[in-house]
Each structure stands twice: as structure tokens, then as C-alpha cells.
Structure 1
Amino acid sequence: MTESFLPHMNGVTGSVLQILRHLERTGHEAHVLAPDAVGLPTEISGAAVEAIPSLALPGYRNVRVGTSPAHRVAASLRRFQPDVVHLASPFALGWRGALAAERLEVPSVAAYQTDVAAYAARYRVPATTGLAHTHIARLHRRATLTLAPSEDAAHRLADLGVDRVRRWGRGVDAERFQPMRRSAQLRAAWGTETVIGYVGRLAPEKQVEDLAALQDIPGARLVIVGDGPSRPRLETLMPSAVFLGHLEGDALAAALASFDVFVHPGESETFGQTLQEAHASGVPVVATGRGGPLDLVRMGIDGWLYRPGDLEDLRMRVADLAGDARKRRAFGAAGHQAVQGRSWASVCDQLLGHFDEARALQAVDAGARARRRTRPDPSRSIDARRWQRYVALGDSLTEGLCDPGPEETLRGWADRLALLLASRGGLHYANLAIRSKRVRDVCETQLPRAIELRPDLVSVLIGANDLVKPRVDVTALAAELESAVTRLRAIGADVVLVTPFLPDRRAAGIYAARFASFATALAGIAARTGAILIDTDLHPTLPERPHWGEDLVHLSSRGHRFLAYRVGEVLGVPHADALGALDASLHDDEPISAGLWWRRHALPWVWRRLHGRAAGDGRVAKHDDYVYLGRSRAPRGVSVG
């Protein structure tokens, strides 16, 4: 599954084409899902190409974004029955592919190739950088394995909470890109002594306008290969430069080999394929010292890296090479030698190895899921369980803020879940959650009381109040929570771990990386302890405004109902999905005005913070002991106090 494909040619498309050729050569069967576009082939390298409905990308009328729903993608995968799903630079279509692969229990390998968050910032699209990071994190956490093209990209993914990251670079076509392609005819046409060249899209994220700082280097001329929405403005900005438009194949190889210095100013490159092709062509490289170029350019050996954003440093590095033919030849020869071991054949063989690893990891994951879905008695499945004592731990979300009940009480998702569970024959239920509490409060105060109650089911939704602090150690936080889960599992209780979540609001984006990292840690806790993980990322509608209360911080009644039914589904409550749909159709929430929000929620919160107070100070749990839900009397032998 690829976000970009023919007829639009770019780094993602080029990689997919090389992978398909290698799969065909090595006897594997492939099937391609790609955004529909005029000129999209129906077959290539022995692989059928399935067109997915798409929309044009703003600013790129010829670039399409796949819009197919996950169920259609799942149906396509079900027909082909793949051993592994490769997600090439996933974002929109790739997200649906990751969900579909998980639903079918097929391993998926996601190749991180495009820094979408950086692109969003450059284009100033409505999706903020924070929200883009959130999406990238949840997508790659869905994948069985993630491939990062550079060390910098791997660190960026780790900062977003993505684990199972492996390094996988890109190959270079050393037969096509080589020094012998240098053309005296082209150089004569360009009419200059020294050629400073660029190859790539002419778009904001590539920062091609920075090349204007090189226009007046003595004896040099800019030659720019590529096309895109920025071309008219760039031609005005750099009137002396030669713009060749889009080139490919041998024409591109000849132009690249005819450069004296290759310059790439983009700061959002996860790899930098054109840098490799320049080196293969025997041309020294000057690139920004950020992202993929850090792995490809060896300072003072085959090129220079300049300080990001420092155009004086850029000019100095380029002028150094432009004025020294002997140094250019030495740097070019070193770059040419460096890429000789990076053929597409060897890189694609590495990819096949990653596919094998993903299949092995999928088997491990399937085993972990099976263990999480069994009680201490392995002969009973999760669908057959009937719990008798349920205790809910957490903060305001589990207490039920913004979900009013009768007589000024609060309900909340845990109360609603308890009613669902009680429908199967009665239930003893305690809710120890208190607003504003943190992981430490759960572990030090709520946990001991829960153990006294000897539950056979415990839900834990905690961490949001910790994650929005100015500083937080996610690893230490998760370790503390894992200790609590381990103690609960030791007394024979099933534990439901719910990952904290954020509303779909611009301000929430600054915490996205922390929440993603913590969710990844909870997945690890569940796998190690046998807890039942409720990964809220699997429900992308939960952050939407109707699911959030008037304070824009807590779930609304609709949101609490939604979460209760989703957890009920996982716990095997009969017809939970159908009941949830019916419940949703009978309710609607009224919006709150911005002025009322400030008076009722924002200003009181600021006052409490300034005075070192929290909303939960002095409060006690609403159900510190068991209450019985159900029509029948308490079963014999069940402790109620």
C-alpha cells in the first residue's frame, strides 16, 4: 500500500517500483493498492495494481490522496491473502491499511519516508504539526514493525513513542547514475565554468528559495531540475538560474553527472535519495545538517553539511567547492566509492529480512493477545467470562465528570460498563476514582483499597494529569503503573488498561508525543502482565467534539457511553456494539458557549493552579465499597464489605 504511485514519480514511487522489481525477480507475488489517478497502470512487474478512490492534494493537482475506508481495504487484503502488508510512506491510505492488517491479523511493515508534520507546517494547512505527530505516532504503533531511513528519523520516531523501529535505507541505481554520464554538450548549453545544481520538487518544504544565496558566486551558475507549485516564484527570485523542469531516466542521470556541486537545502528530509544519486554520479554534496543528510554526507570527505537555516554558512561551503576543482574531484570520488555497496538488490534483500521478522513478531503478538484474553483458567475464553466483583481506578474520567446522573450524581464510562456487566447476572461494583489524581495516587492510595476488596476485574484509566505537567518521565511513570498492575494480577484479578487520550483540539497537540509514548508503554505492560489493553487509538472518532463535555477536557455523556460500549465489546458483553449504536441514536449533546466555558471551567482551573490546589483535594471516592447492581441477591460466598 503506497501513498504515492505512478504516474506521479517521486522518492516513494521510485522505492515501490524497485521493491516490486525485486519481488518479481525473487519469485514473490505482489499486489499494489494505490490512489487512483489518470495514467495509473493496472499491472507492473507482475503485480496487479488496484486503484483506490482519491482526492487531489492542494497545490499538486496530479498528486492524489487515497480516501478508501478501512473496511474496503480489509476486503481487498482478504481477497489477496498476503503474508505481509508493506505500507510505503503511510499517512492517509496507510492508516487504513494498518487498521485493516491488524483486523485481519496480518503483519504490517511501515516505511517512514516522509516527514508529514514538517510538510504541514510549511504548507500552513489546518492540521497542526502536533496533530500530524499524533497521527504518525498512532499509525506506526499500529504497525508490526517500522522502518526508519536514517538515525535522525529513528530518534524522531522514538520521541513519538514508536517502538520496534529498524534502520532501512534506500538503494541507488549505480548503473544509471555514474560519472561517465557527464555531458560536455549540456555544460556548453548552460554556458558556465562551474555548475551548482539541485534536483527535487519545487515546493515550500524543500526550501529551494535558499539557493538564491548562491546566485552571485563568481564563475558559477545555478541549474535546477524539478517542478512543482513554487516554480513561478522561484523563477522570479532567481532569474539567472537555468530551470530544466522535471527530468527522469537517462536525461536526469546526464544532468546530475554534469553538475560540479550538488546542493540540497531541505531540512525535512528523512533520507535524501537525490544525495545518494549525486554521489553515485561523482558529484560532491552540500546539504543541511539535519535529518537524512547526516547519515549520507561525510564532512570533509565527500561533501559539507551546513548549519540549518544559516545561508551564510551554505554560501561559504558551496563557494569552497566551486573555487577548488581539485577538492571537488576528491570529494566526488569519495562519494562515488561510498555508494557502491548500496545497490537496490542488497537493500531489497534487507527488506525481505524485515518482512520475515514482522511475521515472527506477529506470531508473538498473537500469542500475547491470546494470553491477555484468558483468565487464570486457560480453558475459559474472554467471551465466556462473568465477573462478580469489579473495581474502577483512575481520575476524573473514571469518576464521570461531565456525565450527570440522577439527583446530581455522576455516572461515567465505568459506571455504565458496570451496568453492562451486571446484565449478565449481577455485579458488585466499586469506583475509587477521584478527579485530578495521578499515577502515584492510584498506586499509593487506590490500589491498596482495591486489593482489600478482592476484585476479579479492575479497570485502570490514569496518566493524563501526569502527562500534561511541564515535565514528565514517561518511562518512570509506566514503571510505577506496571508495578500496580503486577500486584493486581498476582491476586487473580483481570486488569483492563485503557490508554489516555486527547480531544481533537489544536492546544492538545503539544502533548501528543507524550500520550503516544505512554500508550506504547501501556501496550508493553499489557503484553508482559497479561492485562487487557483498550487502545483508544483504534477509535479515531473518540477525540471528536461531540464526545467531549462542556469544559472541553472531559468526556461528555456521549463520550462516556461510547467508551463504555467499546470496552464492553472487548470484554465480551453480548451485543455491546448494537446497544451502543442504539444508545447513540437516542441522545444528543448541546454545545456550550465560549464565554460560559471561560467562566465555568477555564478561570477556576487557573485559580486552583495559582494557589497550588487541585479539584480533587478533600474529595473521597463515590463508591469506596461495593454496591450491588442487579435484581438478584448477592451470591453466597461473595464479600460485600
Structure 2
Amino acid sequence: MEHPDQPALEMTHLLPTHRSLRLAVVTETYPPEVNGVAVTVARLIEGLLLRGHEIDLVRPRQALRGPQGTAVEGLQELLMRGMPIPRYPQLRMGLPAKAALVSQWQRRRPDLVHVATEGPLGWSAVQAARKLRLPVSADFRTNFHAYSRHYGLGWLNKTILTYLRKFHNRADLTLVPTETLRKELAAMGFERLSVVGRGVDTQRFDPALRSPLVRARWGVAVDDPVVLYVGRLAAEKNLDLLIRAYQAMKQRRKSLRLVVIGEGPMADDLANQCPDALLLGVQGGLELAQSYASADIFLFPSRTETYGNVTAEALASGLAVVAFDYAAARELIINGHNGWTSGLQDEEGFVRRACEVLEAWHPGHPMRMNARRTMLSRDWSGIVEQMEERWRTLTAATQQLRTHDGKLGVMKTS
């Protein structure tokens, strides 16, 4: 029988230890799958391993042929059953697995369970952690309640929001990437929220990787501006606005080229509506980094992000970014310095900003290095250290509570 939640414990004056932690990290997506969550979780795990922690990674078996799993010191993987995600058959969603997780964590008990995604596997992990009286943290990663509007499921908004609130309020700690999002979620009844930003690999994403060969393959001359979009080609990304902005910019600069990196159900629609765009599909590694650095202006019309890793990657690569004033853009962009933002509902303003950036653009524009400098202080190592600090405090609070009355309740972090 699962224990009832106990009164919250204020986590103050707790001195975290510095021993290595055994952390169970549960995620429904992981490389080589290509999306922001997979990349972020992989960077987190890489940083934790470098700091000497042991990681038990729980994820669905991917829709890939051949052997799976990795041989990395300090990392063990538990591959679970999954099913294809509608409209994204290359991705898989984990199936409920509470009994398997309870059994696994009884044999190899972690100090803490961290749940990165809010799907069925993530929910099972929260339940299993509660049953075993393990401290549990969670990431608020994706605005599923916002996405539902783009797939004819707006009537499910309340149900999805209720599920997300229940999911996260069963955790001892929910990590969010911005203060703005923390306030929004707190107003909707989410509890025990803590802000930890997102990092960017500034060694990988670098203006120095700008490549004349890449630009030649794109069919653009040295002085021709290139507009770049990186992300899923899906309704929730507001791609109609991307096309409108590009077409308005094209009227002002005929040599402008649109390069699109990503895949998704709207790829054919995008190609039909914008036949002169160059759709490159999915890229990764050096190829992606060179594409970022070889472009000039980054358009990001999405209004459904919790953060938007691509905004940070574009800035680190020296691109002038045009986005809406929220999520990563609100945190990172200084208008006229490294890019431009418009009000969240101001699509005409977005188009206008895009045209203004283009009119001011030239190959040596200072906005390029300003964008780069913005990101140099946001390396992943500092983000991982912040996560570790939160978890050490949480595990210390758990131990104190057990010592006090032998029971584990949901704990406050602020």
C-alpha cells in the first residue's frame, strides 16, 4: 500500500554531503533521437558522470535496429517497452512499468529518482519512487496542454493540465527553466517549483564553424543573407508565421535564402507553400553546428516552448535571433543587441522585427559577436552544478525526515 503524503518539510539549514550520488534518471526520449529534451537529458547525464555520480538511466527501447544501450563507466541503462508516438513514428513513448521499476530499485536503490518527461513511464516512476519512499524530482519540459490546441484536442486542455499538476505535485521538487514559467505554473496550482536554467555547448556551437563550403552547397554567395529555422516541422511550431516572415523579408532582399533543419508532419506543407526553401531534414553533431554558424538570421515563431534550446544554440553560433518575448528569448535576447523579440500575440510585430533585422544585416554586423558573448557564461557545467545542489539538499532533507519519524512526505524546497 502506498503511503499518504506527509506534511511538507522546509528544507533549510541542511548541509549537503559531497559523496557521489546514485541517481535514477527516467526519460521517454534520448539520443540518437533528435529533440530538445533528448539533447538536454544527455548533456545532464554527461555532466553528472564527469562529476563522479552513478546514473541508472531508464528509457524506452528505441525504434532503431541493432543492439541498444551504451557502455559508459558509471552509467547503467534499463530499456523498457514502448510504443510509437502518433505522428512521430520514429519516437517511442514508454509504457507503464511501475512493478518493474519497484523491483529494479529494490535491488539497486538510488538516492534519488529524477523524472525528465511526463509520459506513462514517467508517471510509473513517480509512483514507484513514492512506494519505496525515495525522494523524487521532475522536470517540467513540454507544454502538452498548449500543444493539444494544435491537434484538434483543445477540449482536453483541462484534463491534460489536471494530469500535469497532479504529476508534478506528487514530486518533492519540480525544476523549471525560467522564472516566468515558475510564476505561471505557481498561479495554476503547481507546487515546490525551483528555477534551474538550461545550458548550451559553447564549444560545439561556435561562429568559427562558419563554412563557405556549406554555404556553397546551399547556393548562396558570400554576401547573401541566410535565414535559418531549426526544429520540428509541426503545427505547434507556428510555421505559417515562419513562411509569412520569410516572404516579407524576401521582398526586401531577393537573394535571401531560407534553410530549414528538422522533420515532422508539416514538411510537405512547408515545401509546397515555400518552394524555394531548402529543407535539409534532421542534422546533428558537426553538421548541425556548421549549419547554424553558416546562417545569419534565426527565426523562431513557436509559442509553445518551455524554454527553446534552439534559441540558445543559435545565439551561441552568432546568429541574430527573432522570436517571441517569452521562454529562452525573454531570458537571453536584448533588443537591438543580439536579436529582437515581439509580444507573444503580436505576429505582425514578429514579421516587422524580422524585416528590420534583415535591413540592418551585413556580414560584419556586431550583433553576431554580441549573440555569441551572451551565451559564453551559460555553459552546461554550471547548470549541472545547480542541479546537483538541489538534489543534495533534497536527499539531505529526506534523510532528516526519516530520522525524525521514519516516514517520507512531500518536501518543500522554498
Answer yes or no: same fold by TM over 0.5: yes
Which of 372, 389, 410 aligns to 1:353? It is 389
The residue that corresponds to 1:208 in the other structure is: 239
The residue that corresponds to 1:36 in the other structure is: 61
Write the distance in 1 (CA, Å) between the matches of 2:316 and 2:228.
15
- Residue deviations 1:500-521, cap 9 Å, x none? xxxxxxxxxxxxxxxxxxxx9x
Amino acid at match of 1:85: V
The yes-or-no answer on 1:286 pairing with 2:322 is: yes
Which of 67, 84, 89 aligns to 1:61? It is 89
Larger-gyration structure (1/2): 1
- Residue deviations 1:54-95, cap 9 Å, x none? 111110101111112322222222222101111113332111
The yes-or-no answer on 1:277 pairing with 2:313 is: yes
Which of 67, 71, 80 aligns to 1:52? It is 80
- Residue deviations 1:128-181, cap 9 Å, x none? 111111111111111111110112221222122222211111211111111111
Give the direction of change, closer, same or farther, for the CA distance of 1:168–1:216 in structure 2 (3 Å limit): same
Following TM superposition, by how much is the alpha carbon of 1:285 offset from its aligned partner in structure 2, in angstroms?
0.7
Give the direction of change, closer, same or farther, for the CA distance of 1:332–1:369 in structure 2 (3 Å limit): farther
The residue that corresponds to 1:330 in the other structure is: 366
Give the alignment of 1:447-526 within 5 angstroms. Answer: none
Give 3-state SS (helix, strand or coil) of 1:128's partner.
helix
> Which is bigger in relative contact order (C-alpha 8 A, separation at least 6)?
2
- Residue deviations 1:328-374, cap 9 Å, x none? 8222222211111111112111111111122133345557875899x
CA contact 2:31–2:42 (8 Å) conserved in 1: no
CA contact 1:113–1:270 (8 Å) conserved in 2: yes
Write the distance in 2 (CA, Å) between the matches of 1:343 and 1:82.
27
Give 3-state SS (helix, strand or coil) of 1:304's partner.
strand
Give the direction of change, closer, same or farther, for the CA distance of 1:31–1:88 in structure 2 (3 Å limit): same
CA contact 2:41–2:116 (8 Å) conserved in 1: yes
Q: Greater CA deviation, 215-224 or 54-63?
A: 215-224
Q: Could you tell me the percent identity over the aligned residues? A: 30
Give the direction of change, closer, same or farther, for the CA distance of 1:127–1:356 in structure 2 (3 Å limit): farther
TM-score (norm 2): 0.85
Give the direction of change, closer, same or farther, for the CA distance of 1:5–1:146 in structure 2 (3 Å limit): same
Amino acid at match of 2:228: G
Amino acid at match of 1:289: D
Give 3-state SS (helix, strand or coil) of 1:162's partner.
coil
Give the direction of change, closer, same or farther, for the CA distance of 1:190–1:216 in structure 2 (3 Å limit): farther
The yes-or-no answer on 1:14 pairing with 2:39 is: yes
Write the distance in 2 (CA, Å) between the matches of 1:78 and 1:185.
55
CA RMSD of aligned residues (A): 2.3
Amino acid at match of 1:194: P
Write the distance in 1 (CA, Å) between the matches of 2:408 and 2:394.
21
The residue that corresponds to 1:25 in the other structure is: 50
Which of 161, 169, 181 aligns to 1:153? It is 181
Give the alignment of 1:425-436 within 5 angstroms. Answer: none
- Residue deviations 1:575-610, cap 9 Å, x none? xxxxxxxxxxxxxxxxxxxxxxxxxxxxxxxxxxxx
- Residue deviations 1:220-262, cap 9 Å, x none? 2211111111111111111111111111111101111111111
Write the distance in 1 (CA, Å) between the matches of 2:407 and 2:68.
45
Write the distance in 2 (CA, Å) between the matches of 1:89 and 1:67.
13
Following TM superposition, by how much is the alpha carbon of 1:23 offset from its aligned partner in structure 2, in angstroms?
2.3
Count of aligned pairs: 376
Which of 354, 370, 376 aligns to 1:340? It is 376
Give the direction of change, closer, same or farther, for the CA distance of 1:372–1:186 in structure 2 (3 Å limit): closer
CA contact 2:96–2:123 (8 Å) conserved in 1: no
Write the distance in 2 (CA, Å) between the matches of 1:162 and 1:365.
23
Give 3-state SS (helix, strand or coil) of 2:298's partner.
strand
Give the direction of change, closer, same or farther, for the CA distance of 1:132–1:292 in structure 2 (3 Å limit): farther
Following TM superposition, by how much is the alpha carbon of 1:312 offset from its aligned partner in structure 2, in angstroms?
2.1
The residue that corresponds to 2:29 in the other structure is: 4
Give the direction of change, closer, same or farther, for the CA distance of 1:45–1:158 in structure 2 (3 Å limit): farther
The residue that corresponds to 2:110 in the other structure is: 82
Give the direction of change, closer, same or farther, for the CA distance of 1:369–1:125 in structure 2 (3 Å limit): farther
Write the distance in 1 (CA, Å) between the matches of 2:117 and 2:81.
18
Write the distance in 2 (CA, Å) between the matches of 1:223 and 1:371.
56
Write the distance in 2 (CA, Å) between the matches of 1:65 and 1:328.
45
Write the distance in 1 (CA, Å) between the matches of 2:318 and 2:334.
14
Amino acid at match of 2:285: G
Give 3-state SS (helix, strand or coil) of 1:95's partner.
helix
Write the distance in 1 (CA, Å) between the matches of 2:325 and 2:386.
27
CA contact 1:152–1:292 (8 Å) conserved in 2: no
Following TM superposition, by how much is the alpha carbon of 1:127 offset from its aligned partner in structure 2, in angstroms?
7.1
Give the direction of change, closer, same or farther, for the CA distance of 1:167–1:45 in structure 2 (3 Å limit): farther
Following TM superposition, by how much is the alpha carbon of 1:275 offset from its aligned partner in structure 2, in angstroms?
0.8
TM-score (norm 1): 0.56
The residue that corresponds to 1:441 in the other structure is: none
Write the distance in 2 (CA, Å) between the matches of 1:364 and 1:115.
34
Give the alignment of 1:206-245 within 5 angstroms. Answer: 206-213=237-244, 214-217=246-249, 218-219=252-253, 220-245=256-281
- Residue deviations 1:20-68, cap 9 Å, x none? 2222222211111101223373225331221111111110101111112
CA contact 2:401–2:407 (8 Å) conserved in 1: no
Give 3-state SS (helix, strand or coil) of 1:27's partner.
coil
Write the distance in 2 (CA, Å) between the matches of 1:187 and 1:86.
42
Q: Greater CA deviation, 70-79 or 228-237?
A: 70-79
The yes-or-no answer on 1:198 pairing with 2:229 is: yes
The residue that corresponds to 2:341 in the other structure is: 305
Give 3-state SS (helix, strand or coil) of 1:322's partner.
helix
Write the distance in 2 (CA, Å) between the matches of 1:162 and 1:92.
19
- Residue deviations 1:412-461, cap 9 Å, x none? xxxxxxxxxxxxxxxxxxxxxxxxxxxxxxxxxxxxxxxxxxxxxxxxxx
- Residue deviations 1:95-115, cap 9 Å, x none? 111111111111111111111
Amino acid at match of 2:38: T
Amino acid at match of 1:204: A
Write the distance in 1 (CA, Å) between the matches of 2:333 and 2:257.
23
Give 3-state SS (helix, strand or coil) of 1:215's partner.
helix
